[in-house]
């Protein structure tokens, strides 16, 4: 089991999170490519903060004000793995929810967090997280700092209102710390909160295999402005974090609505969701909607499932063990009808040997449409190429 320990002793911001992922071994090419699809020329440099080596990521992007819909549309066009884009969307949904609570309206505009640099940081961080193939995350208390900060709405107390709401809505613990200034930004808080919600754990024992720091822009003399991460290997059974299973029977929903329900569950944080045809009382055809989620998300997702389906009751089977295979995402290059494509392939391992290789469907479909072959043939070509690399 691969465990990621994040130590925000000196705070957390989007660029620091991305830099820390690169420092502990995330796929640099994939991260930079994902960021470059949002901002023209991101840079990655090795720096030192109070004697500690760290990775500094800069996007060189200007300000922008966008709605959540505009931000999500920007995320959709990023050149990043599908899992990273789903994760990035949930991060921005978390920020939007906090902004709505702060402003008391559903029609908020992102200011600092809607700019291209923030979008690039989130996509870069999520790509780094996915590339590390992490099974669980343990996050130490976050230092939030003290004093005031200048933002789009003027001078605000620290933590900024949106940051405070994000942290309040998470299971993260915080510390005021002994350092002044804004140590934790809304983007940093939302990233850590989403990582914790995705696969958070209270366990943090194991063998350290890599350590690295992401640097902030400032370089104060009294403390290292860094976010430190450690990747650890832990000898635990093949069963991963426990999950809850939510279920409900429905007999009055169209196929389009059922498809929308599944998509909404995934985008709202479910680990998986599906619809199964069943025969209900009096021989009526119906469907079983099943959602797999982390225990911390089960009540929220059960409420959402009830609203979306109109169900009068959601069954919850709590704390179910699940098998979690080791897995890694790689990019396979294939040439078809004179066109060259780089397509992500997810490889699953058991006892160190690969037993499954699956090409990313959206990328396969786009490539198939480009060259005029069937999706089935394109998928076979990519996966056959991947199996050559055992």
**Inter-CA distances, 222 with 10, 16, 144, 147, 180, Å:** 11, 18, 16, 17, 11
**Among 128-137, 161-170, 188-197, 201-210, whose mean pLDDT is lowest?**
201-210
Predicted pLDDT of residue 103: 65
Q: In angstroms, rounded to a whole number, what is the distance separating the alpha carbons of residues 320 and 244?
A: 6
Sheet holding 353-359, edge to edge: 326-336, 339-350, 353-359
Same fold, 243-320 and 326-387: no
Q: pLDDT tens digits for 176-227?
A: 867 778 899 999 999 999 999 888 877 677 899 999 999 999 998 888 999 9
**pLDDT the model gives residue 350:** 74
Q: What is the pLDDT of residue 318?
A: 79
Q: Class assignment of domain 243-320?
A: alpha beta
Following CA atoms 296, 301, 302, 303 in sequence, which dihedral angle do they give, to the nearest 10 degrees? Answer: 110
Query: Of 48, 6, 40, nearest to 24 (Cα)?
Result: 6
- Domain ranges for the chain: 2-233, 243-320, 326-387
DSSP 114: G
Q: For 138-151, how does the pLDDT look when each residue is reduced to its tens digit (9 = 90+)?
A: 999 999 988 877 76
Q: What is the pTM of this model?
A: 0.66
- Of 69-78, 173-182, 255-264, 266-275, the range with the lowest mean pLDDT is 173-182
Per-residue model confidence (pLDDT) at position 241: 60
Q: How far apart are CA 222 and CA 85, in angstroms?
A: 37
Q: Which residue has the tokens 């709590």?
A: 318
Model pLDDT for residues 21-54, shown as the tens digit of each residue: 999 999 999 999 999 999 988 999 999 999 999 9
Q: Is domain 326-387 annotated with CATH 3.30.2020.30?
A: no
């Amino acid at each position: 089991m691969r465990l990621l320990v994040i130590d925000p002793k000196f705070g957390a911001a989007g660029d620091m999170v991305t830099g820390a992922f690169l420092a502990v071994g995330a796929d640099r090419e994939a991260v930079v490519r994902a960021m470059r699809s949002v901002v023209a020329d991101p840079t990655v440099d090795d720096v030192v903060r109070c004697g500690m080596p760290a990775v500094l990521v800069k996007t060189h992007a200007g300000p922008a004000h966008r709605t959540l819909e505009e931000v999500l549309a920007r995320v959709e066009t990023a050149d990043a793995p599908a899992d990273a884009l789903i994760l990035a969307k949930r991060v921005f949904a978390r920020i939007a929810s906090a902004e709505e609570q702060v402003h008391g309206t559903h029609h908020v505009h992102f200011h600092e967090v809607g700019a291209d640099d923030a979008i690039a940081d989130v996509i870069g961080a999520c790509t780094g997280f996915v590339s590390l193939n992490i099974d669980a995350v343990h996050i130490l208390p976050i230092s939030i700092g003290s004093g005031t900060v200048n933002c789009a709405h003027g001078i605000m107390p620290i933590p900024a209102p949106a940051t405070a709401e994000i942290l309040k809505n998470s299971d993260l613990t915080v510390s005021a710390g002994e350092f002044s200034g804004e140590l934790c930004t809304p983007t940093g808080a939302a990233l850590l909160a989403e990582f914790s919600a995705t696969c958070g754990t209270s366990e943090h024992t194991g063998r350290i295999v890599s350590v690295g720091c992401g640097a902030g822009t400032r370089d104060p003399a009294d403390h290292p402005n860094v976010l430190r991460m450690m990747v650890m290997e832990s000898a635990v059974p093949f069963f991963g974090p426990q999950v809850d299973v939510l279920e409900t029977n429905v007999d009055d929903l169209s196929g389009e609505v059922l498809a929308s329900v599944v998509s909404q569950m995934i985008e709202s944080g479910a680990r998986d969701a599906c619809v199964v045809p069943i025969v209900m009382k009096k021989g009526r055809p119906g469907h079983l909607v099943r959602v797999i989620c982390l225990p911390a998300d089960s009540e929220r997702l059960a409420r959402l499932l009830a609203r979306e389906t109109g169900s009068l009751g959601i069954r919850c089977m709590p704390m179910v063990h699940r098998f979690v295979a080791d897995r890694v995402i790689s990019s396979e290059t294939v040439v078809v009808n004179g066109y060259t494509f780089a397509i992500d392939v997810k490889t699953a391992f058991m006892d160190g040997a690969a037993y499954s290789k699956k090409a990313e469907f959206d990328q396969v479909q786009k490539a198939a449409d480009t060259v005029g072959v069937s999706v089935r043939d394109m998928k076979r070509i990519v996966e056959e190429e991947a199996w050559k690399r055992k």
